[in-house]
Amino acid sequence: MMVPSNIGPEELIALFAARASAPSPETSHALARHLQCKESIALVRIIAEAISQHASGNQSLHAPTEMLPPLA
């Protein structure tokens, strides 16, 4: 990225801050792959539907029995 030679100190500091807070290319690629993954999209849809059902009061959400620890 070329920086103009007539840039002021405040603009330069803002430019450095923006570059420092930007995600790395590897992180951006991993996030893009995750957002395009069919399993991830299906999971998000299932979670959103469960939250919607719970918020509307139509159905209580219970943990599956295989996730609950034994009681004794």
In tens, the pLDDT along 10-43 reads: 888 888 888 777 777 888 888 888 888 888 888 8
**46 lies in a domain?**
yes
Contact call for residues 54 and 61 (beta carbons, < 8 A):
yes
Query: Residue 53 and residue 41: Cα distance in Å, rounded?
Result: 18
Q: pTM for the whole thing? A: 0.40
Domain range for 34? 27-55
Q: Is the pLDDT of residue 72 over 60?
A: no
What's the structural domain count of the chain? 1
According to the 3-state scheme, what is the secondary structure of the chain?
A: CCCCCCCCHHHHHHHHHHHHHCCCHHHHHHHHHHHHCHHHHHHHHHHHHHHHHHHHCCCCCCCCHHHCCCCC
**31 lies in a domain?**
yes
When pLDDT is averaged across residues 43-59 and rounded to a whole number, the result is 80
**48 lies in a domain?**
yes
Report residue 3's pLDDT band, with 50, 70 and 90 as the boundaries: low
Report residue 71's pLDDT band, with 50, 70 and 90 as the boundaries: low
